[in-house]
Amino acid sequence: MLIVMDQKAAPEDINGVIAAIEAKGYTARPIPGGDRVAIGILNNQGPVDAALFLALPGVKDAIPVTRPYKLVSREFKPEDTVIQIGDACIGSGGLTIIAGPCAIESESQALTIAEHVKRSGAQLFRGGAFKPRTSPYSFQGLGLEGLKILARVRETTGLPVVTEVMDLETFDLVEHYADVIQIGTRNMQNFSLLRRAGRAKKPVLLKRGMAATIDEWLMAAEYILEGGNSAVILCERGVRTFVHHSRNTLDLSAIPVVRKESHLPIIVDPSHAAGRRDQVIPLSRAAVAVEAHGLMVEVHHDPARALSDGGQSLYPDQFELLCRQVRSIYRILKNRKDDIPQD
Ligand code: PEP
Ligand code: MN
């Protein structure tokens, strides 16, 4: 349940509601944002009796929350969450582009790619230092050395960096070096990692599990918000289906659903969805058309020699084309927003 306070409610009224919530053994969570104060009720087993709160001074309304997730839902927070990272405002209605190689392989590889993607308009750089690989014999990432290279990329280019955390042991290290901490598809329901991410001081990019429903994905994000970190960016990266023409199936229908259900920003990773370079540009155009807040794309200057995911990495000139195309689609949508039926 969400208790909505009157705009004129005094601080004592708000404290009174919090005390009444806690007296019932529930947790009170004031929700920031907007021009009204709202207080969420968490940790209730079963329904909450609205009458208990409606009679208290300063209370305007008590709205039952019908979803299993609360803090991530629009019922709790109607306004979009906007996360500022460097020059990018993710979720503002702008289009954020994150690009870089699958894995950091060397300083010169990372810097070469970073210069290319920056020139084309990427606002953030991506690259894995700790890589979750299907085979233990595949390249596992450079680890700490990769994180140090990412720091040098940030220093040299000014681009904030996104990199994946795989486990609790390396969380502090990744948090120290990253501007955005990525939790990958294989870890979407690693609950101890999600709880640690809830205590992180950096934004978290939470990828959808490859077999996760939207409810499961939003519940995973709920763990992070519940832990105290409200800077979560969702990333649709394709789900496992029966098809053979692509690595995964990009579920673009998730974008309007998540945007309706949640205030969190949502971006699309067409590279891991497709697994093939030739599908990345068309899928990116489509993702922007369904109003994703951004894209995360794998780019490599020499994909034939890439140590991971070369087959789905765009050449720099293809990435430049992608940026131009998606930006013009974005501009058309933005200018014609009033003409497009929203429901
Ligand atoms: C990645 O972005 O490097 C990655 C491994 O992606 P996913 O978790 O979506 O497979
Ligand atoms: Mn990859």
Q: Is the whole-model pTM more than 0.85?
A: yes
Q: Which ligand is nearest to the CA of 237?
A: 1
- Is the predicted pLDDT of residue 268 greater than 70, yes or no? yes
Whether residue 127 has pLDDT greater than 80: yes
| 338: pLDDT strictly greater than 70 | no
**Model confidence at 33: pLDDT above 80:** no
What is the structure's pLDDT at 231? 98
Q: Which amino acid is at 163?
A: T
Per the structure block, which two tokens stand in for 55? Answer: 């009679």
Give the residue, out of 164, 181, 210, 300, with the most ligand 1 atoms within 8 A of its beta carbon, to mutate for a pocket test: 164
Task: Identify the nearest ligand to the CA of 131 by its number.
Answer: 1
Distance CA 310, CA 151 (A): 23
The arrangement of strands across the sheet holding 59-63 comes to 27-31, 38-42, 2-5, 59-63
Between helix 254-261 and helix 214-226 the angle, nearest 10°, is 40
Give the contacts of 320 (CB within 8 A, at least 6 positions apart). 119, 120
Task: State in Å: Cα 58 to ligand 2 middle.
Answer: 52
Per residue in 74-102, pLDDT (tens digit) is: 999 999 999 999 889 999 779 999 999 99
Could you tell me if the CB of 209 is within 6 A of ligand 1?
no
Whether 197 has a pLDDT exceeding 70, the answer reads: yes
Question: Quick check: 122 pLDDT over 90?
Answer: yes
What is the torsional sign of CA 213, 167, 223, 228?
A: negative
The C-alpha atoms of residue 323 and residue 297 are separated, in whole angstroms, by: 10
Q: Which atom of ligand 1 is nearest to the CA of 208?
A: 9
CB 65: neighbour CB atoms within 10 A? 18
Which ligand is closest to the CA of 102, given by its number?
2
Element (H, E) at 53: helix 51-54
Q: Using a 6 Å cutoff on CB, does residue 196 contact ligand 1?
A: no
Q: Which residues surround ligand 2, an ion (CB under 5 A)?
A: 102, 309
Q: Fill in the amino acid letter for 219.
A: M
Read off the pLDDT band of 339 (50, 70, 90): low
Which residue, by CA, sits nearest to atom 10 of ligand 1? Answer: 185
Q: Find, among 60, 73, 74, 66, the residue nearest to 48 by Cα.
A: 66
Percent of the chain with pLDDT over 70: 97
Q: What is the DSSP string of 128-174?
A: BSS---SSTTS----THHHHHHHHHHHHHH---EEEE---STTHHHH
What pLDDT score was predicted for residue 32? 66
Residue 3 has pLDDT above 90, yes or no: yes
Residues 113-122, mean pLDDT to the nearest whole number: 98
Can you give the three-state secondary structure of 264-314, one letter per residue?
A: CCEEECHHHHHCCHHHHHHHHHHHHHCCCCEEEEEECCCHHHCCCCHHHCE
> Which residue from 98, 102, 162, 299 has its CB within 8 A of the most atoms of ligand 1, so it is best to mutate?
102
pLDDT, the chain, mean: 95
